Chains A and B, each alone.
Chain A
């Protein structure tokens, strides 16, 4: 399940990645823009194997923190959350520490993204 959070405007990256995941045989639900609450209720309802977030506006730290907290609050366990977009490498440790399973910054090849997501799904 992939989504964009907050008011970030850029859709090119998330659509390209969703397309690549589908080509790799995965079932992809693209939520478009979602608030944290909307995303969490979609997760509860659809029970996805993984959640992918996209952020190019710089809102990734706040939004990831909010999503992870709300998922925990809703009792969702064992669903890895990954993020891609304009994420400065210097923010990666903070994202890992809060519980984001993978970060795909600018320039990440699709094969890396698809491969890492497949690994997370196998775990």
Chain B
């Protein structure tokens, strides 16, 4: 694509710059395709992790939700389940993600924003009230390990109070050190090695205690949204998976027990075929790593299981209803790429968190895909497409080169400490914006089409948060502090600190601190005090 004339018939590339043949043919596919594909449900799983894919197991409809208080969010969860969602995808507000209390002055303007506010175990009672935790799987978007550890402990305490045993609880903790140290910023974050260690503490605990829990969901989605292109998203995701796999095996866990617990989360961005190629390449690359590098032959350990979210950064505030079309096409790429679960972004994504209407349109977009289009009836329908196979190979090659580079630096934790990750992301984010500015990348309503900027009806009312979350959380924290045994809390928090500095798994002491009614903010503070604070380099 030339800068001067994006519609010229000249050279074209994918969004990440992979040259595109005008009409791919047999010559564009390297010999040996059968071996690179395998059969669905078999190594290297390029065609999918199950033989029958959606015929036997439809993807999980898992729409993200969370705002204001636990009671407010519980209503939204239940509405989504009542209307046909098949799993919960719960996001926490900015302070809660970082284990900062709602009563911290820095948190005041963000309590209940972008997710639900949680401070004490009672919040988890309210969050999941009336939801059968033995029947519905729960994804906790606890992206930062500093928050993921106490969130999980609070979730378990609340679930056990309701009589659900650890054996029946199914779900996921996002729990990704890169989220804490490179992808999202916070006033204070744990240093990369410490955050990774807490991540693996959570994972080790879950592998031993929670048979149906995915303790890590490597969030390639957010790597992408922060600026990565498709190959970098894939490389960072797999490099992270590699680091976690090696660490958990190094802790003495059996690979057959540990590896099936590492799950992944990818973006469905705008470039349709490149995204499908990325999903397919991800499966093959992970399976190949597990078999050849780790020497593990167990099929469950080789399966790259992932969730997909459509791309928030591609949503526009102008002409927001066009986002319904964008999301639907992106969601289709995820389905054709063989995802295990899916969130479709709402059309008001660029304006606010989803209104009820926008959330339902997004939810039912999944039903349109699943029930109306026939795309769930055939496994890997694009397998064998000259173009898609060509791109799948190219994606593997480009992401593979980046992984080699990361491993050459000593792995992803080291690459994060050296700010390589931050630099690569911000470089690409800036280049992407420049491509939009000079017209190489076109977005309808921003720099292309619809010159008068209107399609008749174009404003949507941004969702207004229910008021009062901050006061409600402060009252709740006060009530818990009044009822608990202060000395016991202090001792429990000290035990968390000792485990953190001494190198023992922090999950046991965090569970005990939650049982003593410690707050999320108190646990976060003790982890930061013990493990250190890192201000990551961005400028």
Contacts and interface: CB of A to CB of B under 8 A. Distances in A.
B225 A12 contact: yes
A12 B429 contact: yes
Contacts of B185: 4, 9-11, 32-33
A20 B535 CA distance: 23
A32 B535 CA distance: 9
B236 to A, nearest CB: 15
A10 B184 contact: yes
Contact of A19 (B318, B426, B436): B426
Interface string A84-102: 0010111100000000000
A6 interface: yes
A16 interface: yes
Contacts of A16: 426, 429-430, 433
Interface stretch (A43-51, A73-81, A104-112, A115-123): A104-112
Contact of B318 (A11, A12, A63, A107): A107
Contact of A5 (B109, B426, B462): B109
Contacts of B171: none
B110 A12 contact: no
Given A33-B187, A107-B446, A8 B94 contact: yes
B184 A15 contact: no
B100 interface: yes
Interface residues of A, number: 36
B300 to A, nearest CB: 34
A105 B317 contact: yes
A9 B538 contact: no
Interface stretch (B82-90, B200-208, B347-355, B376-384): B347-355
Contact of A35 (B100, B105, B110): B105
B95 interface: yes
Interface of B is mostly: loop
Nearest to A64: B109
Interface in A16-35: 16, 18-20, 28, 30, 32-33, 35
Nearest to A91: B462
A72 interface: no
Nearest to B94: A7
Contact of A30 (B107, B313, B447, B538): B538
Contact of A7 (B98, B350, B426, B465): B98
Contact of B106 (A10, A15, A35): A35
A70 interface: no
A59 B110 contact: yes
A99 to B, nearest CB: 17
Nearest to A90: B462
Given A6-B94, A7-B100, A16-B430, A107 B317 contact: yes
Interface string A44-66: 00000000000001110011001
A59 B113 contact: yes
Contacts of B539: 15, 18, 28, 30, 32
B110 A6 contact: yes
B350 A62 contact: no
A88 B95 CA distance: 22
B168 interface: no
The CB with the most chain A CB atoms within 10 A, among B100, B313, B462, is that of B462
B448 to A, nearest CB: 12
B186 interface: yes
Contacts of B317: 86, 88-89, 105-107
Contacts of B425: 12
A51 to B, nearest CB: 16
A107 B186 CA distance: 24
B442 to A, nearest CB: 13
B186 A58 contact: no
B147 to A, nearest CB: 11
B352 A62 contact: no
B95 A12 contact: no
Contacts of A12: 225-227, 313, 425-426, 429
B98 A86 contact: no
B316 A58 contact: no
B437 interface: yes
Interface string B433-472: 1101100000000110000000000010110010000000
A18 to B, nearest CB: 6
Contacts of B106: 6-7, 35
Contacts of A88: 317, 351-352, 462
B94 A57 contact: yes
B538 A32 contact: yes
B332 interface: no
Contacts of A57: 94, 110, 113-114
B124 to A, nearest CB: 20
B24 interface: no
A110 B538 contact: no
A47 B383 CA distance: 60
B491 interface: no
A9 B318 contact: no
Those 6 A-B pairs whose CB atoms lie nearest each other, nearest first = A9-B184, A7-B94, A106-B317, A59-B109, A62-B109, A30-B539
Given A7-B186, A32-B535, 16 more contacts: A4-B185, A7-B106, A8-B110, A8-B114, A11-B185, A12-B426, A32-B538, A35-B187, A57-B113, A58-B113, A58-B465, A66-B109, A86-B317, A106-B316, A107-B316, A107-B318
Interface of A: 4-12, 15-16, 18-20, 28, 30, 32-33, 35, 57-59, 62-63, 66, 86, 88-91, 105-107, 109-111
